Chain A
Amino acid sequence: DAGITQSPRHKVTETGTPVTLRCHQTENHRYMYWYRQDPGHGLRLIHYSYGVKDTDKGEVSDGYSVSRSKTEDFLLTLESATSSQTSVYFCAISVTGTEPQHFGDGTRLSIL
């Protein structure tokens, strides 16, 4: 399995609170991605990174921000969580951005 660790694996929080999810990789891959998975929608890209401090928006980026200060870590932040952001969040990595993406096991986030 690709060396991807997502933390926390589960989190319950309240509307309006800030939340940060972490994706840590040991593969030294250049590209990292954050997706959310919701029933009936498959996975949708939130943000991705193509290098340290280099990030770009995906399909559903509103309400989310990301940071990548080190190759191995990609953080996803919900500045003020809303119930619509209740979802399962997956991190993925890719060597070059043209190679297949490998996914972590996800973070289940519930916002009450």
Chain B
Amino acid sequence: QQQVKQSPQSLIVQKGGISIINCAYENTAFDYFPWYQQFPGKGPALLIAIRPDVSEKKEGRFTISFNKSAKQFSLHIMDSQPGDSATYFCAASIEGSARQLTFGSGTQLTVLP
């Protein structure tokens, strides 16, 4: 049973375009939503995270949009660059649970030059 559903599975974007990855969750107890970026042969690295008390968080070209009522959150990558080509994972966790992360299935992003 997958508690965090991520789409699309793969995404191809032209350089300079906007990349959008979506996630939906079921457990309303989740209160922390990070996004991880993973390059081949490397471990996931924290990219940006949001808590449900805000609807949007922006860090540079990366923005998380959060819709609590719809139980959905998304990652927007503005002005996408070939160096952004990687696999992106959304995740969710509950405070007090040792922050056990429940991950989405991942999105492989390819940014064409």
Q: Is the interface of A mostly helix, strand, loop or mixed?
A: strand
Residues of B within 8 A of A101 (CB): 46, 99, 101
Q: Is the CB of B98 within 8 A of A48?
A: yes
User: How many interface residues does A have (CB within 8 Å)?
Assistant: 28
Interface size on B, residues (CB 8 A): 23
Which residues on the A side are within 8 Å of B106 (C-beta)?
Answer: 42
Is A74 on the interface with B (CB-CB < 8 A)? Answer: no
Across the two chains, which residue of chain A brings its CB closest to B104?
A42
- Complex-state Cα separation, A33 to B36, whole angstroms: 16
* A54–B6 CA distance with the chains assembled, in angstroms: 32
Assess whether A71 is interfacial by the CB under 8 Å rule: no
The answer to whether B89 touches A42, judged by C-beta atoms less than 8 angstroms apart, is yes
Give 20 new A-B contacts, CB below 8 A, not counting A100-B49, A102-B46: A4-B43, A31-B99, A33-B100, A35-B101, A42-B89, A42-B91, A42-B103, A44-B103, A45-B100, A50-B98, A56-B98, A90-B43, A97-B99, A98-B95, A98-B99, A100-B34, A100-B46, A105-B42, A106-B41, A106-B43
In the assembled complex, 17 residue pairs joining A and B whose CB atoms fall closer than 8 Å, in A order, are A33-B100, A33-B101, A42-B4, A42-B103, A42-B105, A42-B106, A45-B100, A45-B101, A48-B100, A50-B98, A59-B100, A97-B99, A100-B49, A101-B99, A102-B45, A106-B41, A106-B43
